[in-house]
Structure 1
Amino acid sequence: MHAVTTMEVFLIAMAIIFCVPFLIWRLGRTDYVAPLVVVQIITGILLGPGILGAAFPGYYAFVFTPDVVTILNGLGAWAVMLFVLIAGIELDLSKAWTNRRESGITAGLALGVPLVFGALAAVGMLRFPGWIGAEGANWQFIVGVGMACAVTALPILILLMEKLDILRQPIGQRILRYASLDDIAIWGVLALVLVDWERIGRQVGFLLAFAVACVLFRRLMRAIPERDRWYVMLIWLAVCAFGADWSGLHFMVGAFLAGVVIDADWFDQDDMDRLRHNVLLVMMPVFFLSTGLRTEWNVGGATVFIAAIVLLVASVAGKLAGVHMAGRILKWQPGEASLIGWLLQTKALIMIIFANILLDKAIISSATFTGLLLMAVMSTMLTIPMATPRLRKMVGK
């Protein structure tokens, strides 16, 4: 009898990864509540060890063998590094600087208030066992969970605003400015949380070497034709991610830094849009599945859901409160604060990446990771249903 090889099992896993969420999304017509990326995340959770793996352990043991999971994790890591690189490239702070008072007030309150609300929720979670990771200090857990509640996923926000047809409108460009500033703050706080005092020399050395390498890299990119820049960009990504991970900062921080120092106008915008689309289409579903495989319910399924709801309330209430405070200070038109507040709720990818890093560094437990993942999914699913009627009301005026 023919023994099933690792490659054959891997291909079975890949077929499941692409088939199941697509059928749910297409046949269920979920796009209004749950875009395909959200369905892929939910499917990853369902296919993981906590749900289908627990109900059908034979299926899980056959498909997700250690060798297959290792391959999936490697593909998923490269996919998300590419995605974070592109997010860094597309980060344009020039418009935020031009409107720095409005952008600074709004971005600061939109990030700061939910961070405080989320940190208070984290303090409550610390009173119970099973939430903090084995290597996490209390302050790292509190700041990490608080920031997870404050995150806005800039790439997914762009997709949702395209769906609402406001991306190129003034309100859409304003929201992009706020989200861009928050994106910088998110990675800055993450770098602070990940500071390893035992390896601080390595981290300082990496940052100094990175600064010098940036000057040489940018000179090289300006000197070569665009067709060569794509290859050099990928080499740069791998080198920066390695350096950041070697220093203890995590390869995702390196991927973001690699993208931030790349000028978007070095590449044709249509080609960059296609690259982002193809990464989402071809590779990111593997990351979503590998993320779902990391979910656990070891403190009790109901308890994890309760934690997710508490974190969701902290995130939503904090974001809306912060944006409404900004609206009052800046004297926005009626309805603008509600629309902006709900659109900035979009978490999905960036929050999941953020939580993955916290889990990798053992700052949070798998149970906290699962709660944060559920919170990110619910928050993102609320965005379009809550923003659409508010946009219609504004347009109607």
Structure 2
Amino acid sequence: MPSLAQVAATGSDANLQLMLKVFPALVLILLVAGICGRIAQMVMQPRVLGEMVAGVLLGPTLFGALFPDAQATIFPPEVRPVLYVLSTIGLTLYMFLVGAGIDHGSRVPGEERRAGVLAAAGIAPSMFLGCVTGLILWSTLSRPDVSRWEFAFFVGGALSLTAFPMLARILYERGLENSPIGRLSIMAAAVDDALAWCLLALLTAVHLGAGLADALRTIVLTALFAVFMLVVVRRMLRPLGRELARTGDFGPTVMYAVILIPLTAGWLTDWIGVYSVFGGFLAGLAMPRDAMFREALHTRMMGVVSTLLLPVFFTFSGLNTELGGITGGTMVLAFLLIMAAGFSGKYFGCSLSMRAFGFSWREAYAVGALMNARGLMILIFINIGLAQGMITRELFAMLVLVAVITTAGAMPLYKLALPDRLEAARRSSDDPEPPPDVEDVSLTRSVQ
């Protein structure tokens, strides 16, 4: 019988071997993500697009196809659970920062109502067309244990998303974050994403429930937890904002709190059955709304989250993305149908809504292009669906392509609708507005 020392030594050796396998994977992930992110910026695209593409390139589509032995060595089966844990922590903290960065206020009377209409104009057509597409493709792309309507609503929910953080960054970089189209777009995108998360929570509860009673239990617990976070926890956290205003910086106690709260919330929502990102997002919404607090929060956390943890998530997604599966006439037609439904519903719905508000056609199409980008948000959505067994890898790969194409097309379509000279004229013709809030600047500088 081996001694305790021998057992401990064996365990330590196994841990060391695992660490020596994880480190090369992280080095390659960060190297490829950094290169692809820089290339994306050189061609006037957001860095996050390059990181998304990097994740796909490291998967079976390119790296695995050209160098299968090297990929198997760098990403062996025992490393993938570690990447999954790191990506889950990263997503939870990222959604925490997104929730903390949402500006709930409105500077113009009636703007919240118009933003709600714009959000509905983007969600309703996308949801309808996505559901119709899902009903048509259910027998082709769905898992056998997923009902027709569950599958249809998942496709509709994925296509109704907007990349809120990326949209905010684009508007800030172009000096339009305080323009009428900028404020409306940011507020509407936040509503879009919040409703999509609610739908995914409902679908997850229904799918994972052993029966209707379990599904209702999950839904009720999720609603109660959301109320607790947004009412009770938000009030309890107000002193953190006052403490930061008094000291001018995060102390150790505040830093522990802002790390523990989203991780604990993520753990609880995972226990409830609706995935940890929901807890992280709710924790962000519960944070103090003070501008200084939000600025300090993003300054402290976003660099590590976006530089280290999000590329791990993109790679973990890429390892599950097999674009080679989208072959043959049936699969290609299915992808084109999904792409057409997603693009037309969001683009024309938002454009017509903006035109109805009295904006020019050029401004309307510019907003339609921005609202049509799905970025990281759809990747989070479909990764949850894949992890919970709601979708197949074929549909996952198709929706990854939708994310990449709509994100890549956002800026070219925006500039086609609103060239620089017209954008500058529009910016100068806007009524003077107060300077952007510190929290808006910090979010848009840091996210994606």
Q: Would you say same fold, with TM above 0.5?
A: yes
- Number of aligned residue pairs: 393
Is 1:259 the equivalent of 2:300? no
Say which of 212, 218, 228 aligns to 2:234: 218
Is 1:291 the equivalent of 2:317? yes
* CA distance, structure 2, for counterparts of residue 286 and residue 258 of structure 1: 22
Is 1:237 the equivalent of 2:262? yes
Q: Which runs of 5+ in 2 are unaligned?
A: 1-13, 207-211, 245-249, 427-448
Say which of 267, 275, 279 aligns to 1:250: 275
Q: Deviations over 1:67-114 (max 9, x none)?
A: 211111111111111111111112233329852331222111111112
Q: Deviations over 1:296-328 (max 9, x none)?
A: 357444565544333222122111221233134
Q: Do the aligned partners of 1:93 and 1:181 also contact (CA within 8 Å) in 2?
A: no
Q: Do the aligned partners of 1:297 and 1:304 also contact (CA within 8 Å) in 2?
A: no
Q: Deviations over 1:314-344 (max 9, x none)?
A: 1221112212331343232331210100011
Among the aligned pairs, what percent are the same residue?
26
Give the structure 1 partner of residue 200 of structure 2: 190
Give the structure 2 partner of residue 139 of structure 1: 149
- Deviation at 1:257? 1.9
Q: Which amino acid aligns with 2:181?
A: I
* CA distance, structure 2, for counterparts of residue 122 and residue 43 of structure 1: 28
Is 1:35 the equivalent of 2:46? yes
Q: Any idea what SS the aligned residue of 2:124 has?
A: helix
* CA distance, structure 2, for counterparts of residue 29 and residue 239 of structure 1: 35
Q: Do the aligned partners of 2:233 and 2:286 also contact (CA within 8 Å) in 1?
A: no
* CA distance, structure 2, for counterparts of residue 30 and residue 206 of structure 1: 39
* CA distance, structure 1, for counterparts of residue 226 and residue 36 of structure 2: 44
- Deviation at 1:277? 3.9
Q: Any idea what SS the aligned residue of 2:267 has?
A: helix
* CA distance, structure 2, for counterparts of residue 341 and residue 294 of structure 1: 30
Q: Deviations over 1:220-275 (max 9, x none)?
A: 32234343333212222122212211122222222222222223317534323323
- Per mean C-alpha deviation after superposition, the further-off stretch among 29-38 and 50-59 is 29-38
Q: Which amino acid aligns with 2:284?
A: G
RMSD: 2.6
Q: Deviations over 1:26-57 (max 9, x none)?
A: 3x465435432111111111211243213322
Q: Which amino acid aligns with 1:346?
A: A
Q: Do the aligned partners of 2:351 and 2:367 also contact (CA within 8 Å) in 1?
A: no
TM-score (norm 2): 0.80
Alignment of 1:345-384 (within 5 A): 345-384=372-411
Q: Cα gap change, 1:170/1:31 in structure 2, threshold over 3 Å: closer, same or farther?
A: farther
TM-score (norm 1): 0.90
Q: Any idea what SS the aligned residue of 2:321 has?
A: coil
Q: Which runs of 5+ in 1 are unaligned?
A: none
Structure of larger gyration radius? 2
Q: Cα gap change, 1:8/1:142 in structure 2, threshold over 3 Å: closer, same or farther?
A: same
Q: Cα gap change, 1:223/1:271 in structure 2, threshold over 3 Å: closer, same or farther?
A: closer
